[in-house]
Amino acid sequence: MKKFLRWLQYVYVIYALLWFVVLMLLVLPFTVIALCLGKIKGGNFMYKVCNIWARSWYGLVGIRHGEIYEAPHNREGKYIFVANHSSYMDIPPVVRAIHQPVRVLGKYEMTRYPIFGIIYRMAAVVVDRSSLEKRARSVRALKSALQKHISIFIFPEGTFNETQEPLKDFYDGAFRIAIETQTPIKPLLFIDSVKRLHWRSIFSLTPGPCRVVFMQEIPVEGLTQKNLPELKKQVHSAMENGLKKYAATVQTYSSMQ
């Protein structure tokens, strides 16, 4: 039985990967349209296309998107979204759950993947950490998006959390930008991503729920850089407690889409 289930798992993952590639190929021509629309309109357009891609892929592979709102969320507002990061399956929920213009801070290394890298570059603010100048350029791009009333999304842990703890320590970047631009922080929790696809192996992919929790926004009005450690600790504590709560209880699926 175990061998049969393992074989079935491999078949499912290959099926899911094939559809991933096929849908990416269908999305690729739209990058040309995005280029013609310009940086702002083109980026917003690509997020809408990626949302359709994520909806289609989820439906074909049996993954169910869900949104849980612990507090009212203003889709017309401007935020710095932050979330926990433990799986490659953290990427689809971003384009499924955020229903307003947004730019994701993404790793430069992701642009090296064929096909996906081209689309990724169009839809994200790519950070190359090889030099201080390149990192500063990414920060300027994020601030520019906020000035245009486009929200930004950052994984404050930087890389996958491969520890036994709910969260790793946070980097300062998201909180520094929040204070400098006086933009509220909106924490999100990806509570099923690592269950759908563990960071250890792509062959751990499984169908099932993939929920996103929208937490209470955290205002930064009036804060200065002296308050950065306190702000970072506040957000980390709120997200850590939230992850522990959802891991310990059986939740009903809210706003399942």
pLDDT in tens, 59-81: 999 999 999 999 999 999 999 99
Tell me, yes or no, if the pTM score tops 0.75.
yes
What is the CB neighbour count within 10 angstroms for residue 251?
15
Q: Kindly report, residue by residue over 5-62, the tens digit of the pLDDT.
A: 788 899 999 999 999 999 989 998 898 888 888 888 888 998 999 999 999 999 999 9
CATH architecture of 2-248: 3-Layer(aba) Sandwich (3.40)
Which residues have C-beta within 8 Å of that of residue 180, sequence separation ≥ 6? Answer: 143, 225
Which three-class secondary structure state does DSSP give residue 51?
helix
Structure-block tokens of residue 55: 């909806």
Domain ranges (residues) in the chain = 2-248
Q: According to the model, what pLDDT value does residue 111 have?
A: 66
Q: Predicted confidence band at 238 (pLDDT cuts at 50, 70, 90)?
A: very high
Mean pLDDT of the region 244-248 = 86
Q: Kindly report, residue by residue over 27-42, the tens digit of the pLDDT.
A: 988 988 888 888 888 8
